[in-house]
A and B are shown apart, each in its own frame.
Chain A
């Protein structure tokens, strides 16, 4: 299932953002702090209603779908995921089955198997009986990704999924979501991770998309200097061939010319 953002505007934070994530592709949204990445994403997982424009899920306007219907096809890992109550990890992951169940329906063994599989895929099976309140930031993040997977969506929306993760789990989580075959729309801070795992990236600056395309086309020293304000050298990853950036402090604007 593809997802399309059409002329999305939210106040003065996001202006005329249009992008499409084709079925099964991994699309990255990058940009400096305050560029409107999270705001854009919040429109996609329905926490915000855009002033103008629309989000289309498989061609259907998201706004016209009941929350429960959209939750069956679109799962999200958000930034506001602090938990107050003493749930176990297994209980948190089991919540993913909610949109698939009627009011009088109980969870069955198939649901339990889906949840167990999701935990296994994020390497967190051993955490199942732990209280979520005792997890480290990285463990919690993996559990939330497991919950999103257990929701069995067609589209996965992630707001900085690698936050709090150590380098190994950063790569494992992104490799995992990229390998699911789901349509993925993700906000990423780390341009090198975006370059490695995204099929396409969109660069946001001051609420507008300033560059779009394959990472190799988009991540040029000129763009990085202009948007992020750092000097970048692009090298090719010796194994994957993906463009990778080495940074330096930008001293003078002329240096890149």
Chain B
């Protein structure tokens, strides 16, 4: 057992302020940097022009379009998805009382990939054009979640272990279906598209994708922040939670619905970006402690900054090729995680 470490619980103000500044800087950098580099000054000028009005030189129209129509929505979407996945990660880890849980532990990503691969392979929903993939993936995720819910439900409600095991088992089943679909695909390109989807990408980001996903993340976050004390109680165990007046069964059911809807919405715009929802919650807890009021304040900001940079790396490192986000999150996240875990003697789930 490690020596008792006194934990200081510093006020959150400075951390939050720092992260807000980092977020702003990250957005500007995310817009400025890329295969076509836009000088920082021009970036700021263009952004200001777009937001507050102004005159752009005719010669700059191309750059303006890159900044405003391609990069900015993509960077903002990265922030929203990063924030959302981090928040869902925190909640799912508490809901199933498992340190290794992430937003996709309930079988959602594999459900989404079944949906996505039916589109890619069979061309279903072709009438919906560009949105076919998003719609199918969300539907797949939703179906997976409902199946997990039905299979995991008992007379005592949803028990954490049952949820995790059912989710894992279902994930295997859905992966098998995806594999079969890809093998049956008439052209080899299908496997590539589905794989790309599975590992997450913001390459298709448009302004149109932002309102719904932003609204979902903001509403979800505000709600979860309001019930943060109940989340604290739940993380102390079901019996303790009860004695503190929080019905664990009802709360777990609510959390299941909230996290499923949020994840489904995010999957529709970005695919299944792995690792963010696993690592960011842990990193944040290491810094600010386990109290959900603190974690749910810091995690969305940290997640947003993290995913903006991940996306930036994904589209620049092998330009003009884009790498899937999941590859970068793993490459950046794993060493970072291992380092912090060893340094702080961080514990989750036991001694």
Contact = CB atoms under 8 A, between A and B. Distances in A.
Chains A and B bind each other: yes
Interface in A59-78: 66-72, 74-76, 78
B229 A95 contact: yes
Contact of A68 (B8, B99, B245, B347): B245
A133 B351 contact: yes
Contact of B243 (A78, A101, A133): A78
B66 to A, nearest CB: 44
Contacts of B2: 134
Nearest to A139: B4
A169 B301 CA distance: 45
Contact of A99 (B232, B240, B244, B348): B244
B70 interface: no
Interface of A is mostly: mixed
A102 B216 CA distance: 25
A148 B232 CA distance: 16
A226 interface: no
Given A78-B239, A95-B236, A130-B6, A87 B289 contact: yes
Interface in A72-105: 72, 74-76, 78, 80-88, 90-92, 95-96, 98-99, 101, 103-104
Contact of A134 (B4, B8, B230): B4
A85 B9 contact: no
A66 B250 CA distance: 12
A86 B7 CA distance: 9
A46 interface: yes
B290 A71 contact: no
A86 B245 contact: no
B291 A98 contact: no
B188 to A, nearest CB: 45
Nearest to B243: A76
Contacts of B230: 98
Contacts of A220: none
A84 B348 contact: yes
Contacts of B291: 87, 91
Contact of A71 (B8, B245, B347): B245
Interface string B1-26: 11111111100000000000000000
A47 B7 contact: no
B247 interface: yes
A96 B348 contact: no
A99 B245 contact: yes
A70 B4 CA distance: 36
Contacts of A81: 236-237, 239-240
A46 B7 CA distance: 34
18 contacts: A45-B243, A68-B245, A71-B244, A78-B240, A80-B238, A83-B235, A85-B285, A86-B285, A86-B347, A87-B289, A88-B9, A98-B233, A104-B226, A129-B6, A129-B7, A129-B9, A134-B4, A134-B5
Interface of A: 42, 45-47, 66-72, 74-76, 78, 80-88, 90-92, 95-96, 98-99, 101, 103-104, 129-131, 133-134, 148, 151
- Closest 9 CB pairs between A and B? A71-B245, A68-B245, A85-B290, A99-B245, A76-B243, A134-B4, A78-B239, A86-B290, A80-B239
Given A86-B290, A95-B232, 6 more contacts: A45-B242, A78-B237, A83-B235, A88-B9, A91-B9, A92-B236
